[in-house]
Every structure is written in C-alpha cells, then in structure tokens.
Amino acid sequence: MIQPTPFESTPFEPGAEFDRQVRTLIDLGYPAMAGLDSARFEAMLTPLRELATRYGHTTCDPETGRVPFLLVLTRQVAAIEQTMPRTTLHGKRKPGFVDHSFEPGALERFVATPAVALPNQHVYLLFDIERGEEFCGAVPSDAMNTITARGRTPLTIEEGIALITHFPQILVKNKCFSLGGSRSGDRRVPAIWISQNAPKLGWCWEGNPHTWLGMASAGTRRTTT
C-alpha cells in the first residue's frame, strides 16, 4: 500500500501543508474514487487553498493531538468503504477496515447530525482539530454535550478518516476517538481505534465510557461558497 506523504513537524506553513494533503489524496488513489483524473481532482481542491492559508495558523502538533486543518471529502465523492482501507497506523502498512458490527446498510444511516451543519459542498476544510483524549473515560453523550457547550463540533466519520489519513501518527494506543458528528438515530456512536494492528472504524454505545476512547472535535468548517 502507498504510504501517505509524511508530515514534517517544522516549520509549519499552511500553504505547504495544504499541498501535502492534496498530494496525499492523489497518491492514495482518491482521484479514481471520485471518477476524475489527477489534474481535474487537484483543480477541484485548489480553490480551498486560500482558506487554508488564511485560517490555518493554529497549533500543528499531531503527536499531542492538535492539527490546524484537514481537507475533507464527503462520501458522495469517495465512499467510506473505499477510504477507510487507505488508512494505516503511523509507519505501518496494514490497511484500516470497517468493523463487521456495522450490519449491511448501516454505514449509509450514519449521517451528519443537524447540529453539525456541514457545508453544502462535497469538499471542504475542517479547522482547529483536537483528538480529544481529555474525554477518555467519559460517557460519550456527556463528552458531546461539553464539546457543544464550548462552541465546538464533534467530527463526522468522513472527518475522522481524513484525520488519520493526513496525520496517521494521531491514532495511538489509549488515545483513540469517537466521532459524534455522525449518528444513525440510535444509541450508537461511531469511533476509530486500533485493532489487529490497524485502524478500525467501529461504534460504541453513547452511554458506555471507555478509558482508551475520547471524543474528537473541531472549531469550524469552511468552504469557498
């Protein structure tokens, strides 16, 4: 499996980081998933570069769970069943996977909640992301309430996949994370953790705390229109 372009910790420059994320998606085969060639795929993303350079200056320290922005493609562009296997743990090759606990048709029902207010675009930028290990051991529903009270937003499934795609080093043992921005109308909360030495997309109950599972969040979402 092709490894994502490595993140260089210093110095950080938003434009260069945006370009790195575009290259990562191209190298991992996202243009084909979107039904585009590499040039057309890159042209679709390029208008977002100015937003990255304007707003993407917050802390970039993936080792401690903070990154300034993510380039996110929704499942309408690239299906979750295709993007999750493009993820790996940092320095590893075993592909990520969707857990069998998602019954047939379940993923389609895990959609962004009304409170998340996704941009009306298939490609956008997510800013000021935190892995959320402070919520390890907290009840997921309580963690989501705290995030909302801070004026922040929980991540969706696509955003969680984008996080470990662009920054594989952010997914580590005992600091994994739930994705409360995608729900299916029941008590399940999707999450990404480590299983079989690879990233796994699964789910946990909203009332069940886990010492190794926090709640990822972000500051805002932006697009060009």
Q: For residue 3, what pLDDT band results from cuts at 50, 70 and 90?
A: low
Q: For residue 218, what pLDDT band results from cuts at 50, 70 and 90?
A: very high
217 and 129 in contact (C-beta within 8 Å)?
yes
Report whether pLDDT(210) > 90. yes
Two tokens at 23?
């290259």
160 and 171 in contact (C-beta within 8 Å)?
no
Q: For residue 213, what pLDDT band results from cuts at 50, 70 and 90?
A: very high
Whole-angstrom distance, CA of residue 70 vs CA of residue 72: 6
Helix H or strand E segment including 44: helix 38-45
Cβ-proximal residues to 162 (8 Å cutoff; 6+ apart), any chain: 70, 71, 72, 73, 126
Report whether pLDDT(11) > 70. no
Whole-angstrom distance, CA of residue 160 vs CA of residue 191: 8
CB atoms within 10 A of CB 201: 27
Two tokens at 44?
């679709």
Report whether pLDDT(134) > 80. yes
pLDDT value for 98? 97
Q: Could you tell me which residues are beta bridge partners of residue 199?
A: 194
Report whether pLDDT(9) > 70. no
87 and 161 in contact (C-beta within 8 Å)?
yes
What confidence tens digit (pLDDT) does each residue in 59-85 have?
Answer: 788 888 999 999 999 999 999 999 999
Look at 10 and 217; give whichever has higher pLDDT: 217
pLDDT value for 6? 60
pLDDT value for 62? 87
Under DSSP, is residue 20 helix (H, G, I), strand (E, B) or coil?
helix
Strands (E), the chain: 66-73, 97-98, 111-112, 123-130, 153-154, 176-178, 182-183, 188-195, 198-205, 213-215, 217-218, 220-222
| Measured CA angle at 216 (ends 30, 176), to 5 deg | 85
What confidence tens digit (pLDDT) does each residue in 84-133 have?
Answer: 999 999 999 999 999 999 999 999 999 999 889 888 789 999 999 999 99
What confidence tens digit (pLDDT) does each residue in 152-196 have?
Answer: 999 999 999 999 999 999 999 999 999 999 999 999 999 999 999
pLDDT value for 225? 67
